[in-house]
């Protein structure tokens, strides 16, 4: 400061006070548009509302109360009115510039309360008028800032020009720096094979980006589920909490490959739970080979119908009876999850159906003949005797 602040003992003895002097005084009276400040001189200092704060205020009482001790600068004398005009704002501004310069040099993070919401951003009092552009308030788009008045923000000085009385502040810079540190920490600790919790940040045609707590990883559409996925949105939505497995980490390029499906039971594990010998399943013929046909009975799970189990008549090749893409029913003969092998039979199912049909015919004949008082044995008994 241009002048050292004079203490109260000095003020009681002050005979001369010059323009530019900075003195300490006590507020003795607060009016709507001005305050009186006793600085130990023959004249009380008159502090106009325009010299109280760097920000617009409605009345002096919003900032000062009687009895407050403050530093003020003498800015002029009105000899004809025997008045001494002082400024609190000038002292605060000078002090603030020095502090702000240090904060900008060191990158210090500090807090300030939002005093005004104006077109294009926010205003805070940091000894001078500090402006936070709308694009520097958050690290995401904010449509309405009306509820930001009175909020305390964490800020950094990003630009300042004393001659133009301009101070630009940013909370986004603070948030971005913190996120960068989080990202580095997460990336450093990531390892292939880890299973983590994450949040779906956004979805695209080719997959979903999942936030792992500071850095995003990609779940390719092929890694969303064990069965075929047409659209990513059929499986996940933005904001979903999901469990993912780390497939790969490229720390230099900051690329992380993730999988959702590999945190869930695979198709063969599901097959072991859902299928057992004797079950009848419906499937699709996927491949025909010399020794039989492979039938998909669950998404990603195929069972083999050996050529001997395709038909109850002798066939030379599976293609005599089956074709790829055909839907068939088959009986489960055996399930071996460890070896990923399922044995199926179409023949047994056909034979079972034939036996069932024969049984039904016999039951119907017995019912019809019972009404006539004749049994199957009676019908064939005479024939039996004659043959003897």
Q: Which residue has the higher pLDDT, 379 or 145?
A: 145
Strand duo 110-118 + 45-48: pairing: unpaired
pLDDT attached to residue 11 = 40
pLDDT tens digits, one per residue of 202-245:
999 999 999 998 899 999 999 999 888 999 999 999 999 999 99
- Measured distance CA(217)–CA(209) in Å, rounded: 6
At 371, the pLDDT band (50, 70, 90 cuts) reads low
Q: Are 198 and 212 in contact (CB under 8 A)?
A: yes
Is 383's pLDDT higher than 50? no
- Measured distance CA(272)–CA(338) in Å, rounded: 9
Is 31's pLDDT higher than 50? yes
pLDDT tens digits, one per residue of 156-209:
999 999 889 899 999 999 999 998 898 888 888 899 999 999 999 999 999 999
Report the CATH number of the 8-14+24-92 domain.
2.40.50.140
- Measured distance CA(15)–CA(13) in Å, rounded: 6
Is 332's pLDDT higher than 60? yes
CATH 2.40.50.140 at 268-349, yes or no: yes
Q: Which of 90, 85, 167, 63 is nearest to 124 (CA)?
A: 167
Q: Which of 126, 37, 42 is nearest to 87 (CA)?
A: 37
Q: Are 87 and 51 in contact (CB under 8 A)?
A: yes
Tokens describing residue 244: 């993912």
pLDDT attached to residue 361 = 83
Q: Which CATH superfamily is domain 190-263 in?
A: Nucleic acid-binding proteins (2.40.50.140)
Strand duo 166-170 + 129-133: pairing: parallel
pLDDT tens digits, one per residue of 96-113:
899 999 999 999 999 999
287 backbone dihedrals φ, ψ, rounded to 5°? -145, 145
- Reported as type and span, the H/E element at residue 72 is strand 69-78
pLDDT tens digits, one per residue of 83-96:
899 999 889 888 88
pLDDT attached to residue 93 = 86
At 378, the pLDDT band (50, 70, 90 cuts) reads low
User: Average pLDDT for residues 43-67, to the nearest whole number?
Assistant: 90
pLDDT tens digits, one per residue of 313-328:
899 999 999 999 999 9
**Alpha carbon of residue 38 to chain centroid:** 58
Q: Are 231 and 245 in contact (CB under 8 A)?
A: no
Choose the weakest-confidence range: 138-147, 172-181, 227-236, 359-368: 359-368
- Measured distance CA(155)–CA(153) in Å, rounded: 6
Q: Which residue has the higher pLDDT, 362 or 241?
A: 241
Report the CATH number of the 107-175 domain.
2.40.50.140
DSSP 6: B
pLDDT attached to residue 379 = 53
pLDDT attached to residue 266 = 84
Tokens describing residue 149: 């008045």
- Measured distance CA(58)–CA(32) in Å, rounded: 8
User: Average pLDDT for residues 38-55, to the nearest whole number?
Assistant: 89
Extents of the domains making up the chain: 8-14+24-92, 107-175, 190-263, 268-349
Mean pLDDT estimate for the chain: 88
pLDDT attached to residue 10 = 44
Is 47's pLDDT higher than 90? yes
Q: Are 200 and 237 in contact (CB under 8 A)?
A: yes
User: Average pLDDT for residues 258-264, to the nearest whole number?
Assistant: 93
Number of H helices, E strands in the chain: 6, 20
**Bridge-partner residues for 241, per DSSP?**
199
Is 155's pLDDT higher than 60? yes
């Amino acid at each position: 400061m241009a002048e050292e602040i004079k203490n109260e003992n000095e003020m009681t003895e002050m005979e001369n006070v010059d323009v530019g002097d900075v003195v300490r005084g006590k507020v003795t009276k607060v009016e709507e548009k001005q305050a009186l400040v006793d600085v130990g001189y023959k004249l009380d200092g008159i502090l106009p509302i325009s010299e109280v704060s760097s920000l617009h205020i409605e009345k002096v009482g919003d900032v000062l109360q009687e009895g407050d001790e403050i530093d003020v600068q003498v800015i002029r004398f009105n000899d004809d009115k025997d008045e001494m005009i002082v400024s609190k704002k000038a002292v605060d501004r000078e002090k603030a510039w020095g502090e702000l310069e240090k904060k900008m040099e060191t990158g210090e993070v500090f807090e300030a309360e939002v005093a005004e919401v104006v077109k294009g951003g926010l205003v805070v009092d940091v000894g001078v008028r500090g402006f936070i552009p709308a694009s520097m308030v958050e690290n995401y788009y904010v449509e309405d800032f009306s509820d930001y008045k009175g909020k305390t923000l964490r800020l950094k000085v990003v630009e300042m020009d004393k001659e133009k009385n301009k101070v630009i502040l940013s909370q986004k810079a603070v948030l971005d720096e913190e996120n960068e540190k989080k990202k580095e920490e997460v990336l450093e600790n990531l390892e292939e094979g880890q299973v983590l919790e994450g949040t779906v940040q956004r979805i695209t045609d080719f997959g979903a980006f999942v936030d792992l707590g500071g850095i995003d990883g990609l779940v390719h559409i092929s890694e969303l589920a064990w069965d075929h996925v047409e659209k990513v949105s059929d499986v996940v939505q933005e904001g979903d909490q999901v469990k993912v497995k780390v497939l790969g980490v490229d720390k230099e390029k900051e690329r992380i490959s993730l999988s959702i499906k590999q945190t869930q039971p695979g198709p063969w594990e599901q097959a072991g739970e859902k299928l057992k010998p004797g079950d009848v399943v419906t499937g699709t013929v996927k491949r025909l080979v010399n020794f039989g046909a492979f039938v998909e009975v669950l998404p990603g799970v195929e069972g083999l119908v050996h050529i001997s189990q395709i038909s109850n008549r002798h066939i030379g090749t599976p293609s005599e009876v089956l074709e790829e893409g055909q839907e068939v029913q088959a009986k489960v003969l055996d399930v071996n999850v460890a070896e990923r092998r399922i044995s199926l039979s179409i023949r047994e199912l056909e034979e079972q159906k034939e036996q069932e049909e024969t049984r039904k015919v016999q039951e119907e004949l017995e019912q019809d003949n019972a009404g006539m008082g004749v049994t199957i044995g009676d019908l064939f008994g005479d024939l039996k005797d004659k043959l003897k």
